[in-house]
Structure 1
Amino acid sequence: MGEVDVDCEDARFEPEKDREEEVFSCPNCGSTDFVENSAKAELICRDCGTVVDENRVEESASPRAFSAEERKKKARTGSPITYTKAGKGIRTSIGKGGEMRGVAPNKRGQYYRMKKWQNRIGESKDKKMQTALREIGRLVDVLNLPQTVKEEASRLYEKAIENDLIKGRRIERVSAALVYIVARNQRIPRTMKEVADESGVDKRKLGQTYRYIAKELELGIKPVKPEDFLPRFSEELGISGETQAQARKYILDARKENLLAGRSPGSIVAAAIYLASEKRGEKVTQTAIADTVGVTEVTVRKGYRDLMEGLEIEDEE
């Protein structure tokens, strides 16, 4: 059997998950003798020259330092990678602090020219991205969402730019659509009306944008379940845990009886909360529920009657 010719660019080494028992071997010649190229973060086979690992990341613990001099010598430079900052937070800036004091007088002209061109390139490349990241961060804060939503929405925005999906669309609309998608997929959804109101985007256009972005980026959109909204609305209304559990049971029973088809999650959760509070003697007004959930009082009453009838719950009055 002849030798298999493996192209260096296609040879990729996958380290084992258990790092304590890692055994490196070249996929081309089987050698275990390697040299590490620190400049390019590559691991190269000494025998055949195959790059068996690249983009290596230093995972050892940071060195300890007990004085200012030791911290200066042992410190690792650079901030952690994050998609919530333009350039992933690792771009080098020229001209920060008192750097000019350390520049020789005959080099200062060159220094200023480098700084000027870096600023021009940065402004043209990152201006829209910075605006989008600020909008995403603002929406995450006002909608009371965790930082995981901000990080993922920021990553998807950068991916949307790479796929040329932003052209011709307002930054606010795309940012709102991504926040809506990520929150929904992380099972901490916000209603489309909430996102539209906070972002100042028309609800219909927001719906068009999020469906377009999800399709082009091949994002699987998880269906919104009424029970996902229940804890938040229950807390805002101040109802007890027992009433919340009863409302959840009504929603699950209604799903078994196929009573949820064609209804919005907000209308279902509003009706279930009102029905559970009535049955447990916690007087929560229809107006309070409607204002909290973002539906009308008519919707609350109609959903309440439909649940009573569909689940065959007797009226105690």
Structure 2
Amino acid sequence: MSDTTIRTYTSDSQRTERTTEETTDERTDVDVCPECGGTLHTDESHGETVCADCGLVVEEDGIDRGPEWRAFNSQEKDQKSRVGAPTTNMMHDKGLSTNIGWQNKDAYGNSLSSRQRQKMQRLRTWNERFRTRNSKERNLKQALGEIERMASALGLPKEVRETASVIYRRALDEDLLPGRSIEGVATAALYAAARQMQTPRSLDEVATVSRIDDMEFKRTYRYIVRELNLEVAPADPASYVPRFVSELDLSDEVERQARDLLQTAGEKGVTSGKSPVGLAAAAIYAASLLANQKVTQSQVSDVTDVSEVTIRNRYQELLEAAENAA
């Protein structure tokens, strides 16, 4: 019995020594300069790992995994420290509430019994009810969900969704919703946010994914912009070009030519009073002809949702402006 114990103890000691040696070797490889073998020093303020002997920068742009705030006493540290996900305007409670997970498993990964699953389902139901305490929060929850759905269908980035959520919250706080549908104000907020963040979508594109008709959408958009004093600049036709060029699978040369045509037309005053989407479609069609990458008017029309007649009229105007400028 004692012999077995001794042998086991010896084996564990050898394993511990071997692990210690491997860890030491790994640490030695990391902490030694590859150029001169000197000691490495980590400069956290600059995010660099530098050799203390020869000055070689071994690693740069290091990640600072500490907090972004500073505290000079224990009281400030307690006030500023936090856990959990960052707050967001895309949720009605700004992401501060908690949810009960949908998995019917306990902390050890074991499946719950039938009675426990029923209990958890009731708790989820009541938790969802308590998250929206009044009609204003229920309104906000429905609207933000609608904004998220439409933004996802249009491929809009997170910053546009955040801006649209802020616009809708302002409209709700200033009591602009009576007499208008939640979907209408949400659609108008998303369209205005896309224009403000320089990632515009056409009226037809937004109306396609919305659940309201075109007239209500346009009327609500004008009302929201006027009442909230939103600064929405006229849409730049060039901002539509990269997306349409990508969908048509054309080259960078076509995109550059289209931008040049639109810039020249803008300087000549040709673009004034005309639809920016129609101008972008015509510029892409004209640029494809100039770059010998022919694409049909029908193909451009299908991607941009602009009629072929509009494309023909606009592209001739763009080419004439380019010829006059030359």
Identify the TM-score tier after normalising by the shorter chain: 0.5 to 0.7
Instruction: Report the counterpart of residue 197 of structure 1 in structure 2.
Output: 208
Instruction: Report the counterpart of residue 133 of structure 1 in structure 2.
Output: 144
Q: Shift of the alpha carbon at 1:92?
A: 6.2
Instruction: Kindly indicate whether the alpha-carbon contact (under 8 Å) linking 2:264 and 2:321 is maintained by their aligned counterparts in 1.
Output: no
Give the TM-score taking structure 1 as reference length.
0.66
Instruction: Report the counterpart of residue 92 of structure 2 in structure 1.
Output: 86
Instruction: Report the counterpart of residue 248 of structure 1 in structure 2.
Output: 259
Secondary structure of 1:250's match?
helix
Whole-Å Cα distance in 2 between the matches of residues 162 and 273 of structure 1? Answer: 43
Superposition map of 1:285-304 within 5 A: 285-304=296-315
Instruction: Give the 3 Å change call, closer, same or farther, for CA 37–250 of structure 1 in structure 2.
Output: closer
Which whole-Å deviations, capped at 9, do the CAs of 1:176-210 have from their partners, x for residues lacking one? 11111111111110001110111032223222211
Superposition map of 1:85-124 within 5 A: 85-91=91-97, 119=130, 122=133, 124=135
Instruction: Give the 3 Å change call, closer, same or farther, for CA 77–254 of structure 1 in structure 2.
Output: closer
Is 1:267 the counterpart of 2:289 in the alignment? no
Q: Shift of the alpha carbon at 1:120?
A: 9.0
Instruction: Report the counterpart of residue 222 of structure 1 in structure 2.
Output: 233
Q: Shift of the alpha carbon at 1:149?
A: 1.1
Whole-Å Cα distance in 2 between the matches of residues 93 and 227 of structure 1? Answer: 43
Query: Percentage identity across aligned positions?
Result: 38
Which segments of 5 or more consecutive residues in structure 2 lack a partner in the other structure?
A: 1-68, 107-122
Which of 80, 86, 106 is residue 58 of structure 1 equivalent to? 80
Q: Shift of the alpha carbon at 1:93?
A: 7.5
Q: Shift of the alpha carbon at 1:279?
A: 1.3
Instruction: Give the 3 Å change call, closer, same or farther, for CA 284–90 of structure 1 in structure 2.
Output: same
Compare the two structures and name the one with the higher helix fraction: 2
The amino acid that maps onto 2:156 is L
The amino acid that maps onto 1:58 is K
Whole-Å Cα distance in 2 between the matches of residues 35 and 307 of structure 1? Answer: 66
Which of 163, 167, 172 is residue 161 of structure 1 equivalent to? 172
Instruction: Kindly indicate whether the alpha-carbon contact (under 8 Å) linking 2:261 and 2:319 is maintained by their aligned counterparts in 1.
Output: no
The amino acid that maps onto 1:193 is D
Whole-Å Cα distance in 2 between the matches of residues 125 and 93 of structure 1? Answer: 20
Instruction: Report the counterpart of residue 5 of structure 1 in structure 2.
Output: none
Instruction: Report the counterpart of residue 221 of structure 2 in structure 1.
Output: 210
Q: Shift of the alpha carbon at 1:167?
A: 1.6
Is 1:234 the counterpart of 2:240 in the alignment? no
Whole-Å Cα distance in 2 between the matches of residues 228 and 121 of structure 1? Answer: 39
Instruction: Report the counterpart of residue 276 of structure 1 in structure 2.
Output: 287
Whole-Å Cα distance in 1 between the matches of residues 240 and 99 of structure 2? Answer: 44
Secondary structure of 1:300's match?
helix
Whole-Å Cα distance in 1 between the matches of residues 323 and 99 of structure 2? Answer: 68
Instruction: Give the 3 Å change call, closer, same or farther, for CA 36–269 of structure 1 in structure 2.
Output: same
Instruction: Give the 3 Å change call, closer, same or farther, for CA 281–215 of structure 1 in structure 2.
Output: same
Instruction: Give the 3 Å change call, closer, same or farther, for CA 241–120 of structure 1 in structure 2.
Output: closer
Superposition map of 1:8-87 within 5 A: 58=80, 76-87=82-93
Whole-Å Cα distance in 2 between the matches of residues 222 and 146 of structure 1? Answer: 19
Instruction: Give the 3 Å change call, closer, same or farther, for CA 162–281 of structure 1 in structure 2.
Output: same
Secondary structure of 2:271's match?
coil
Instruction: Give the 3 Å change call, closer, same or farther, for CA 121–287 of structure 1 in structure 2.
Output: closer
Structure 1 window deviating more from structure 2 (80-89 vs 177-186): it is: 80-89
Instruction: Give the 3 Å change call, closer, same or farther, for CA 35–262 of structure 1 in structure 2.
Output: same
